[in-house]
Amino acid sequence: MNPPYFRDDRVASSTSLAIGWVSRHLDRFSPFDEHNIYCPPRTKPFIELAIMLGVHVAATGDATSPFVRNAAQLLQSVSRRPDFTHWMVRLPAELVNYAELCAAINELGGDARELRQQLQQAVDMGVLAQIERLPHRQVELRAALDWAGIRHSLPPVEDLCVETILGQPLSAPLLSDYAIYAITHVIIFACRFGLLRGALPGWLRSATIRTLLSDLIVVTSQERNWDLLGELLLCWESIGFPQNSLSVAGWESFLEVFRRDGAVPPSGAGDEQELSPDTEGLNAPESSDFDRVYHTTLVAVLAGTVFLGRSTSGASSVANAITNRRIRKVSEVQFV
């Protein structure tokens, strides 16, 4: 009996559509408002974009496409603005965001020297001691600082992982959405979205974890929680588990909800504002539609990138598959 298999071209086609949506909305990811004033609530989508770009370029080697060049320009320009960077000391809990931005700029081939120096100075002056973070957030902080090349004294990733929810016996049907998000964050940051798969603690690559993820894929698919399903598929691919019937079914369900414009809705149950895959977001105000779909769309790009990075013959073929296919030409965007 042949093992279950999900075709690369289906993931490549959908992922390229999602990248197209991100490229057409790139200005919406800026942390500055229409008056060019820093807007803290807009930091989250900006940093999540930076993470996605860092992983995408590291996995594919694509540092020259119009989309990546425009996005790199945005990240670089923001990193040099004092009205953005001074918050790393005023709000120590935000340090992780600056580390992830620094790491992404490094991956994109930009100049992060000044930002890295500011980060190192903040750590050296004791900012980390002023932060209270849950265990899975500690894993993210440690991973971000390592990725950015910042010296620190945080415990090893393996020690931090043991203190998270994954260090306990778990039952998938009993886990809340919040708990599942904690699980996904431990996995994807501990192995840097599969870029450091070998550094993942052995017990996180065990049959027990594979069974837990399989069960959670079923739970989130049944609940039509596409955002969590996307993160679980990202975990599956980041760890490097072989495909099975449940992971293939999860991918089938996930790809079916991509809209024609490439955006991916976060859920499909009990949401009166939910759009059908054929409406392309045209029936909703642009701002509310962006806020609703951007995170799941970025997760979709990450999951697709890691999936294709595992299953194709080389980084260049991945870049061709998800960057150069079916993406409309991106006009040059200027950021101040």
pTM of the model: 0.89
Q: What is the per-residue DSSP string for 237-260? A: HHHTPPP-HHHHHHHHHHHHT--T
Nearest to 67 by CA among 8, 107, 108: 108
Mean pLDDT in consecutive groups of 10 residues from the start of the chain, 336 residues: 73 94 96 94 97 95 91 96 91 94 96 96 94 93 97 95 96 96 97 93 95 98 97 97 95 96 85 42 64 98 93 53 47 40
Q: What is the per-residue DSSP string for 176-195? A: -HHHHHHHHHHHHHHTTTTT
Q: Establish how many alpha carbons lie within 13 A of residue 17's alpha carbon, considering only the half-sphere containing its beta carbon.
A: 19
Topology (CATH level 3) of domain 8-323: Glycosyltransferase (1.50.10)
Burial of 120 (0-12, 13-18, 19+ CB in 10 A): middle
Nearest to 16 by CA among 287, 228, 300, 247: 300
Structure tokens at 256: 């079916």
Contact residues for 201 (Cβ-Cβ < 8 A; gap 6+) = 157, 158, 161, 162, 190
Task: Give residue 7's pLDDT.
Answer: 80
Q: Which helix (H) or strand (E) holds 97?
A: helix 95-107
User: What is the four-CA torsion angle of 328, 5, 181, 257, rounded to 10 degrees?
Assistant: 50
Structure tokens at 65: 């496409």
